[in-house]
Amino acid sequence: MRKKSDCCDEKTKVLSISPIGEGYWTLRLRAPQIAGQARPGQFVHIRVPGLEASALRRPFSIYGAEGDELRILFKVVGRGSEALSRVQAGVAVPVLGPLGNGFPKPAKGTVPVCVAGGYGVAPLSFLAKRTGAGGITLIGGRTAADILAAADFEPLGWTVKVATQDGSLGTKGLVTVLLEETLGQLREEGKKAEIFACGPTGMLRAVGAMAETEGSRAWLSLDERMVCGVGACLGCVQKIRREDGSEYLARVCKDGPVFESRTIVW
Ligand SMILES: Cc1cc2nc3c(=O)[nH]c(=O)nc-3n(C[C@H](O)[C@H](O)[C@H](O)COP(=O)(O)OP(=O)(O)OC[C@H]3O[C@@H](n4cnc5c(N)ncnc54)[C@H](O)[C@@H]3O)c2cc1C
Ligand code: FES
């Protein structure tokens, strides 16, 4: 059972903001309340300074939480993330969190396999750090600049493999090519994978299908556009299948963002 955490609306303070390659940033916030409760796979909803007061908050996965410090890793894709990349150290940032269910702990006797697409690596790095035991991380992106945080995993005893669509780093192709290889190797060694994935929807669907074929469990963190972030507006629903076969509309922000792949009705 995943523990519930109490969400709070905290007035955090920017400790630092640093570019980590083309269009990607890491933001460190002083956020003692949220950092103290954060678990891998949960996210925060940020009121971005510099946007008008009526602007929606933006959701970002928790990349790390240690002591009083909360970290996120983000890509500039539009107005909100662009404004966030311009915050300065010392600025106050209202942050709601930690939100969502998060990933479960890897089951005993399985090999955790993380599959990341682009900034989807953020919650998986946090998972690896909290899991302690080693595992395998597969990171994919369009090009070498989209391969982020790979260096986080090796010091923790994890094996890292990389794939880029243009072949500029690692294997040429999609990250699912690496997953197919990895699942095959584990099968030959008589080991069972448990998959944890975060990335674009197409990647998540493919990962879910491969896990099903292999008979492995896969936990997918869905990237759905959000409004309230706390389950009140039904702006982020996803059809989910219960064990008895009936279906319901789950709120990705409140009931997710992590769902077991076999329950998702794509
Ligand atoms: C649970 C969750 C965790 C997330 N974690 C991270 C993270 O760790 N790092 C990170 O960089 N981003 C993350 N995102 C995505 C992030 O929330 C969006 O990129 C951000 O809200 C875009 O805001 P914007 O104003 O910059 O872009 P907008 O101007 O709103 O949109 C610009 C472009 O980005 C697309 N877009 C907007 N929101 C999303 C989304 N949720 N998914 C895919 N495309 C989107 C739009 O369709 C548009 O093409 C996460 C989203 C969710 C739901
Ligand atoms: S964003 Fe409002 S219910 Fe999920």
Q: What is the pLDDT of residues 26-77, one digit of tens each?
A: 999 999 999 999 999 999 999 999 999 889 999 999 999 999 999 999 999 9
Same domain, 171 and 206: yes
Q: Is residue 247 part of a domain?
A: no
From 99, 227, 248, 259, the mutation candidate for ligand 2 (largest count of ligand atoms within 8 A of CB) is 227
Helix residue ranges per DSSP H, 109-151: 121-131
Q: Strands 258-260, 43-46: parallel, antiparallel or unpaired by DSSP?
A: unpaired
Same domain, 56 and 154: no
Same domain, 84 and 160: no
Domain count along the chain: 2
Domain that holds residue 171: 110-223
Ligand sitting nearest the alpha carbon of 252: 2
Tokens of 163: 């794939």
Q: Is residue 144 part of a domain?
A: yes
pLDDT over threshold 70, residue 1: no
- Residue pLDDT, tens place only, 203-224: 999 999 999 999 999 999 999 9
Of the residues 64, 99, 134, which one is the last residue of a structural domain?
99
For ligand 1, atom 28, name the residue with the nearest CA: 78
- Residue pLDDT, tens place only, 69-102: 999 999 999 999 999 999 999 999 999 999 999 9
Same domain, 61 and 14: yes
Q: Is residue 24 part of a domain?
A: yes
Alpha-carbon gap, residue 26 to 212, rounded angstroms: 34
pLDDT at 6: 75
Q: Answer yes or no: is the C-beta of 46 below 6 A from any ligand 1 atom.
A: no
Q: Please report the atom of ligand 2 found closest to the CA of residue 232.
A: 3
From 28, 60, 121, 258, the mutation candidate for ligand 1 (largest count of ligand atoms within 8 A of CB) is 60
Q: Is residue 104 part of a domain?
A: no
Of the residues 99, 127, 162, which one is the last residue of a structural domain?
99
Closest to 222 measured CA to CA, from 6, 59, 73, 47: 59
Q: Answer yes or no: is the C-beta of 75 below 6 A from any ligand 1 atom.
A: yes
Q: pLDDT > 90: what percent of the chain?
A: 94
Over the chain, what is the mean pLDDT? 95
Q: Is residue 59 part of a domain?
A: yes
Same domain, 176 and 132: yes
- Residue pLDDT, tens place only, 101-154: 999 999 999 999 999 999 999 999 999 999 977 999 999 999 999 999 999 999
Ligand sitting nearest the alpha carbon of 235: 2
**Geometric angle at alpha carbon 143, from 140 and 148, rounded to 5°:** 55
Q: Answer yes or no: is the C-beta of 225 below 6 A from any ligand 1 atom.
A: yes
Interval 3-26 mean pLDDT:
89
Q: Is residue 68 part of a domain?
A: yes
Same domain, 21 and 93: yes
Identify the burial level of 226 via C-beta atoms within 10 angstroms of its C-beta, where 0-12 means exposed, 13-18 middle and 19 or more buried.
buried
Sheet holding 92-99, edge to edge: 58-61, 43-46, 92-99, 8-19, 24-30, 69-75, 64-66
Q: Answer yes or no: is the C-beta of 122 below 6 A from any ligand 1 atom.
A: yes
Q: Is residue 248 part of a domain?
A: no
Q: Answer yes or no: is the C-beta of 77 below 6 A from any ligand 1 atom.
A: yes
CB distance 75 to 223 below 8 Å: no
Alpha-carbon gap, residue 206 to 187, rounded angstroms: 19
Ligand sitting nearest the alpha carbon of 84: 1
- Residue pLDDT, tens place only, 171-191: 999 999 999 999 999 999 999
pLDDT at 90: 97
pLDDT at 228: 96
Q: Within its chain, how far is the Cα of 75 from the centroid?
A: 13
pLDDT at 119: 97
Same domain, 54 and 80: yes
CATH number, domain with residue 59: 2.40.30.10
Same domain, 121 and 169: yes
CATH number, domain with residue 155: 3.40.50.80
Same domain, 87 and 115: no
Determine the longest span between alpha carbons in the chain, in angstroms: 56
Q: pLDDT > 70: what percent of the chain?
A: 98
pLDDT at 24: 97
pLDDT over threshold 70, residue 4: no
- In angstroms, what is the span from residue 233 Cα to ligand 2's centroid? 5
**Geometric angle at alpha carbon 115, from 113 and 121, rounded to 5°:** 120
Q: Is residue 1 part of a domain?
A: no
- In angstroms, what is the span from residue 64 Cα to ligand 1's centroid? 18
pLDDT at 260: 98
pLDDT at 61: 98
Same domain, 127 and 190: yes
Q: Please report the atom of ligand 2 found closest to the CA of residue 254.
A: 4
Same domain, 219 and 114: yes
Phi, psi of 172 (to 5 degrees): -80, 125
For ligand 1, atom 32, name the residue with the nearest CA: 78
Same domain, 147 and 176: yes
Q: Answer yes or no: is the C-beta of 26 below 6 A from any ligand 1 atom.
A: no
pLDDT over threshold 60, residue 202: yes
- Residue pLDDT, tens place only, 216-255: 999 999 999 999 999 999 999 999 999 999 999 999 999 9
Q: Which pLDDT band holds residue 2 (cuts at 50, 70, 90)?
A: low
